[in-house]
């Protein structure tokens, strides 16, 4: 202890450190009481069909596609929390004009995929992502395959890549969900874990949270009217997405790839410092784009066409360099 502190100050500092440590132990202990399903066993070769993505266990996941007549590249797209594949309708319409076919997936528990409103678990979400990449490569042999994720979707991509390489030709991370793990204050972690233990099925609307996700009010109205956008979130799903974001933030040092990292300076959902810290710890060929007028929903903000163009240019450059 620094000798410049008086005895009572030293006691106060030490007491707070002890309390923080005790709180962390409590959070870890409670967290151990909440578990989510393991990844399903691999029983089938994944494939893309007219009715959706057939994953490794035979489950059919919702899928929207925008197919270029003569594609030069493929994008597998993952939506954010409580959203679904429709969120990519704007950018995918733009990308298809630049020779990019997009397959946007409804992750399990979202959109038209099984168990709507329930958290499938990080391992299952990662397994479905790997299945989508495998299915896309099988359907389009020889074409470069990129993965794009917004918010939670980007968090899933980072967590998966850190675990073991996805085998994609590049990662597109838009407003990545990385507000978890060491980036999340201890009281938040404790609250999420305790709530998930004692009231996992309780739902929260988030109406009291005075934060804006985008400056595009028309899009917000559209989402509110869309029955496939989740309005009431289960508490255990909140814990689940917090864990995914924690895995993404804590393990960013393990990620090495060609990466396009996108963030908006007006983002009120994911703290800028958490995203900046994550970006600094990624390895590989990193292209960083920071938008002064960008909010959290970068693909749907009023300035979204700028983001669509940056993604198309980045994918095009790497498709050419790969020999396409």
Both tokens assigned to 166: 């996805």
What is the reported pLDDT for 195?
A: 54
What is the reported pLDDT for 275?
A: 97
Q: Where exactly are the structural domains of the chain?
A: 46-321
Contact 296, 79 (CB under 8 A): no
CA atoms of 261 and 252, how far apart (whole Å): 13
Contact 149, 98 (CB under 8 A): no
What is the reported pLDDT for 37?
A: 81
What is the reported pLDDT for 179?
A: 82
Tell me the three state secondary structure of residue 119. Answer: coil
Picking from 224, 272, 94, the residue whose alpha carbon sits closest to that of residue 77 is 94
Alpha helices in the chain (DSSP H): 7-31, 89-96, 122-139, 152-163, 186-198, 217-225, 235-250, 272-281, 304-321
Prediction pTM value: 0.85
Picking from 82, 69, 74, the residue whose alpha carbon sits closest to that of residue 48 is 74
CA atoms of 72 and 315, how far apart (whole Å): 9
Helices 122-139 and 152-163 cross at an angle (nearest 10°) of: 80
Longest CA–CA span in the chain (Å) reads 75
Could you identify the residue written with the tokens 């391992």?
123
What is the reported pLDDT for 36?
A: 75
CA atoms of 182 and 197, how far apart (whole Å): 21
What is the reported pLDDT for 317?
A: 95
Contact 83, 229 (CB under 8 A): yes
Picking from 87, 254, 251, the residue whose alpha carbon sits closest to that of residue 178 is 251
CA atoms of 177 and 17, how far apart (whole Å): 29
What is the reported pLDDT for 209?
A: 61
CA atoms of 69 and 77, how far apart (whole Å): 19
Tell me the three state secondary structure of residue 82. Answer: coil
Give 123-135 pLDDT, tens digit per residue: 999 999 999 999 9
Both tokens assigned to 304: 């979204």
CATH no. for 46-321: 3.40.50.1820
| Burial class, 89, CB count within 10 angstroms (exposed 0-12 / middle 13-18 / buried 19+) | middle
Tell me the three state secondary structure of residue 103. Answer: strand
What is the reported pLDDT for 21?
A: 40
What is the reported pLDDT for 27?
A: 45
Instruction: Flag residues of the chain having pLDDT under 70.
Output: 1-34, 180-209, 321-324
């Amino acid at each position: 202890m620094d000798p410049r502190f008086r005895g009572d100050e030293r006691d106060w500092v030490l007491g707070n450190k002890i309390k923080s440590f005790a709180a962390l132990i409590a959070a870890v202990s409670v967290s151990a009481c909440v578990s989510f399903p393991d990844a399903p066993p691999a029983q089938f070769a994944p494939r893309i069909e007219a009715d959706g993505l057939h994953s490794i266990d035979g489950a059919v996941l919702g899928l929207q596609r925008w197919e270029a007549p003569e594609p030069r590249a493929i994008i597998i797209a993952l939506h954010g929390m409580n959203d679904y594949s429709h969120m990519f309708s704007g950018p995918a319409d733009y990308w298809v004009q630049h020779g990019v076919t997009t397959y946007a997936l409804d992750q399990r528990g979202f959109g038209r995929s099984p168990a709507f409103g329930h958290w499938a678990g990080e391992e299952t979400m990662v397994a479905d992502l790997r299945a989508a990449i495998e299915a896309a490569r099988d359907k389009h042999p020889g074409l470069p395959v990129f993965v794009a994720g917004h918010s939670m979707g980007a968090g899933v991509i980072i967590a998966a890549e850190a675990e073991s390489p996805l085998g994609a030709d590049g990662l597109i991370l838009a407003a990545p969900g990385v507000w978890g793990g060491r980036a999340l204050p201890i009281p938040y972690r404790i609250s999420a874990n305790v709530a998930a233990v004692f009231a996992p099925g309780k739902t929260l609307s988030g109406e009291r949270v005075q934060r804006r996700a985008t400056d595009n009010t028309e899009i917000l109205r559209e989402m509110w009217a869309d029955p496939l956008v989740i309005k009431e979130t289960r508490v255990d799903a909140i814990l689940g997405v917090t864990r995914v974001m924690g895995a993404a933030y804590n393990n960013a040092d393990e990620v090495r790839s060609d990466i396009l990292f996108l963030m908006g300076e007006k983002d009120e959902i994911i703290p800028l410092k958490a995203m900046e810290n994550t970006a600094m710890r990624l390895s590989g060929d990193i292209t960083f784009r920071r938008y002064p007028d960008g909010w959290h929903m970068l693909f749907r903000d009023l300035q979204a066409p700028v983001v669509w163009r940056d993604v198309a240019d980045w994918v095009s450059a790497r498709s050419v360099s790969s020999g396409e």
